[in-house]
Amino acid sequence: MGDEEKLEGWDESLKEYISQYIAETKERIPEIERKLFAIEKKEEDETELVKELFRDWHTVKGAAGFLGLNKTVELSHKTENLIAKIRDEKIPFTEDIINALFDALEKLKILTENIALTGEEGDIDIEPEIIKIQRIIEKIQGGIVTDFEEKFEEKEEKLKPQEQIQKKEEIELGKEEEKKITSEEPQKALQTKTKHEETKEGIMREEILSRKKEDLRKEEEKIDEEKKKRKFAYETIRISTKKIDEVMALSEELILERNFLLNLFPKIEEKYPKDEDVSRASEVVANIDKIISMLRFSIMKMRMIPLKTIFSKFPGTVRNIARQFGKKVELITEGEDTEVDRNIVDEIEEPIIHLIRNSIDHGIEKPEERIAFGKPPEGKIVLRAYYEGENVVIEVEDDGRGIDPEIVRRKAVEKGFITEEQANSMTEKDIINLIFIPGFSSKDVATEVSGRGVGMDVVKSKIVQLKGTLDIETEVGTGTKITMKLPLTIGIMNTLKVSCNGTHFFIPLSSVIEISRISKSDLRFASGQPVINWRDTMLPAVYLGKILGTGSNNSDMYHIIIVGVAEKKIGILVDSVISSEEVSVKTISGIKKATGIAGATISADGEPILVVDVYSILKFLEEGGIDSRRLI
């Protein structure tokens, strides 16, 4: 849902302005944050950064004032005042000042997000930030007065000997008033003084001119930069996500019609093999196919945004959380220009924040602990993204204490998730994956196992909901890496068309690992569960029709499709594999929560077909949702 849909309380004439304000402020916030980090790390010219920060907050204040966003105005005004003091009085940045500016920025983020979500600032309390900034301003002002008084007293002390000398000279002059004072000596002194003053003024003039030239050069550079920005602004326009979604929906309809034509024309050509018009029409259909594919790609690109839009928010988050826990943590981002569907970007922000928070809270050790372990006092979290086929991979990796599988095993047995016997037969990987079980974690467990268990079931559910996978690698004392693999876009997918008892289904190709033929005699049973030996691993096997309600199969031969989500794999048995097809998947009201069904689509020949949800089948079997003896 776009921001413009959440502004019901606003006058129609202002909706466009508030949407623009939200978009521009969201773009400005990461820039402010970048400048604050540059000041804190002394990476750039502080003088210029302070000027830019003042302009940033001044712009936010002006735009918010026009829209009557009073809390944002008050926060911006107070922050702007502090920056002005720093700029005008050449105040050095202390830790208190930097923390106060970061805190104000965090509150601006919350206010802006609230406006985007509800159309209002809400009951966000800005008083703590206002008080903190005001105290710093008062401290600065007090420091300036004290400094002035100290300098005045210092000058006064220096002047006292001068006064004494002057009085002494007057006395001496009185004693020697008989001496003749020639007019030449004062004149020479005056000339000397005049030449000295001229030299001094000349030097000052050169210095002023030099500074003016430098200021002018900087101003010219800024003007050039503004021109570039303006040129870029003319070349780009803002389009609401609602409008893009409407175009995307139309393109999905086109795909359905294209599939119908592609299915129809081979039959027409077969009926009229020598008809020139049919041959020409077939070429046109082939061209339409190419154009629709190009159109779909272009629309998908319009929907895609760089992960920078959320990655840029995390440095400040990491800094604030690390401060809360008395830790030093550096966030390193890689691949932030990787582009993903906007809807996916919106959905993965919270899971990533959750993983980062857990990493800082329980993964990264305190400075003194890290030094004792021979590590640098500052911990590192690497947030990286890259493409892998038609997917995007996002990794959150830390150099903390890692997850101890023995602790996880013990806690899982204590909490009754597994028996001692089961625990002893499990691999280390399987034991680590127990942290994904709902309810596994508690605060004490989380602390012992690096915090990865806290809400990890929720994180995993969100990733799976997006048709993605989640994996975890860890080494005690070295760190942990969590890997999320997600589709680049949602709605349109490549599928495998299969048949069970005459009913067709689509299985997402992204879940398919391998396809082969087996006979009924190849099936084995373990604890009453049908299994298949796949690469020396016994996998559960299930006839798809049995899960989706088309009945059993009494055939001696099957096609088996090995499918997987993250670490889980099963063998899905079907009567036949027909073809691969690109389809537009729609959620169907009333059956979207049905086991094994992700949605529905129209096939190339116009047949309504259900799309299989592999993960829900895996989960269903894991929970014993059907009598294992009746899976075939």
For residue 156, tell me if it sits in a domain.
no
∠ CA 300-305-309 to the nearest 5 degrees? 165
- Mean pLDDT across the stretch 138-163? 56
Same-domain status, 294 and 385 = no
Which of 103, 124, 146 is a domain's end point?
A: 146
Same-domain status, 291 and 379 = no
Residue 466 corresponds to which amino acid?
L
pLDDT at 241: 73
Which of 146, 168, 195 is a domain's end point?
A: 146
Distance CA 400, CA 366 (A): 10
User: Whose CA is closest to 543, among 491, 513, 498?
Assistant: 498
Q: What contacts 388, CB < 8 A, 6 or more positions away?
A: 485
Do the Cβ atoms of 328 and 377 come closer than 8 Å? yes
CATH number, domain at 505?
Answer: 2.40.50.180
Same-domain status, 268 and 358 = no
Q: Which of 96-110, 154-168, 226-240, 356-370 has the least mean pLDDT?
A: 154-168
Give the DSSP H/E element, type plus range, for residue 583.
strand 576-584
User: Whose CA is closest to 122, among 107, 132, 134?
Assistant: 107
Which of 461, 487, 513 is a domain's end point?
A: 487
Same-domain status, 497 and 618 = yes
Is residue 526 pLDDT above 50, yes or no? yes
- The string of pLDDT tens digits covering residues 242-295 is 787 788 778 878 877 887 888 788 888 888 888 888 888 888 888 888 888 788
For residue 29, tell me if it sits in a domain.
yes
CATH number, domain at 444?
Answer: 3.30.565.10
Give the DSSP H/E element, type plus range, for residue 348.
helix 342-358
pLDDT at 632: 63
User: Whose CA is closest to 530, among 544, 522, 541?
Assistant: 541
Task: Tell me the pLDDT band of 457, cut-offs 50, 70 and 90.
Answer: confident
Give the DSSP H/E element, type plus range, for residue 107.
helix 95-118
Task: Tell me the pLDDT band of 568, cut-offs 50, 70 and 90.
Answer: confident
Is residue 165 pLDDT above 50, yes or no? no
For residue 168, tell me if it sits in a domain.
no
Same-domain status, 89 and 40 = yes
Same-domain status, 622 and 562 = yes
User: CB count, 10 Å around CB of 49?
Assistant: 17
Distance CA 411, CA 404 (A): 11
Read off φ and ψ for residue 592, nearest 5 degrees.
-65, -25
Same-domain status, 473 and 547 = no
For residue 207, tell me if it sits in a domain.
no
Do the Cβ atoms of 279 and 314 come closer than 8 Å? no
For residue 350, tell me if it sits in a domain.
yes
For residue 620, tell me if it sits in a domain.
yes
User: Whose CA is closest to 20, among 222, 303, 240?
Assistant: 240
Same-domain status, 332 and 481 = yes
User: CB count, 10 Å around CB of 37?
Assistant: 16
Is residue 180 pLDDT above 80, yes or no? no
Joined together, the tokens standing for residue 169 give 């000279």
Is residue 41 pLDDT above 60, yes or no? yes
Overall number of domains in the chain = 4
| Residues β-bridged to residue 538 | 533
Same-domain status, 568 and 622 = yes
Q: What contacts 77, CB < 8 A, 6 or more positions away?
A: 61
Same-domain status, 335 and 298 = no
- Mean pLDDT across the stretch 9-22? 77
pLDDT at 391: 84
Tokens 């304000």 — which residue? 21
For residue 166, tell me if it sits in a domain.
no
DSSP label at residue 510:
G
pLDDT at 7: 57
Q: Which residues of 194-228 are buried (b: 16+ CB within 10 A; e: fewer)?
A: eeeeeeeeeeeeeeeeeeeeeeeeeeeeeeeeeee
Do the Cβ atoms of 291 and 257 come closer than 8 Å? no
Do the Cβ atoms of 532 and 521 come closer than 8 Å? no
CATH number, domain at 48?
Answer: 1.20.120.160
List own/partner pairs for 475-479 with CB under 8 A and 24 or more apart: 475/402, 476/401, 476/402, 476/403, 476/404, 477/373, 477/401, 477/402, 478/399, 478/402, 479/363, 479/397, 479/398, 479/399, 479/400, 479/401, 479/402
Distance CA 63, CA 628 (A): 63
pLDDT at 374: 94
User: Whose CA is closest to 132, among 92, 70, 81, 62?
Assistant: 81
Same-domain status, 430 and 531 = no
Structural domain boundaries, residue 532: 492-630
The four Cα atoms 353, 354, 357, 360 give a dihedral, to 10 degrees, of -110
Give the DSSP H/E element, type plus range, for residue 602.
strand 597-602
Distance CA 104, CA 565 (A): 42
Q: What contacts 314, CB < 8 A, 6 or more positions away?
A: 331, 333, 352, 353, 356, 383
Task: Tell me the pLDDT band of 82, cut-offs 50, 70 and 90.
Answer: very high
Give the DSSP H/E element, type plus range, for residue 498.
strand 492-500
For residue 171, tell me if it sits in a domain.
no
- The string of pLDDT tens digits covering residues 399-447 is 999 999 999 999 899 888 889 988 888 888 889 988 888 877 644 444 4
Percent of the chain with pLDDT over 70: 78
Same-domain status, 429 and 522 = no
Helices then strands, each counted (H, E), the chain = 19, 18
